[in-house]
Amino acid sequence: MSALWDEDGRVAWELHASGWDWEQIGRELACPEHIAREMSERHGAVLAEQAQQDHPTLFDLP
């Protein structure tokens, strides 16, 4: 994943979390709204994966 994709994904994710709709985010990032949504989803998945790796489970169940 390129650095620009990372940055745009973060921006899209933050703007959507702040209440912007995908059309507004697409205009802000100069891309189609479906691309803004995909970048945001990818960024969210990266955050979830990092959180999973950074926070061990409380109980190790078999």
CB 37 within 8 A of CB 12: yes
Higher pLDDT, 1 or 61: 61
Helix axes 3-17, 22-29, angle to 10 degrees: 140
Residues 6+ apart with CB under 8 A from 42: 1, 5, 9
Q: Residue 20 has what pLDDT?
A: 98
Q: What confidence tens digit (pLDDT) does each residue in 20-60 have?
A: 999 999 999 999 999 999 999 999 999 999 888 877 766 76
Q: Residue 50 has what pLDDT?
A: 87
pTM above 0.85, yes or no: no
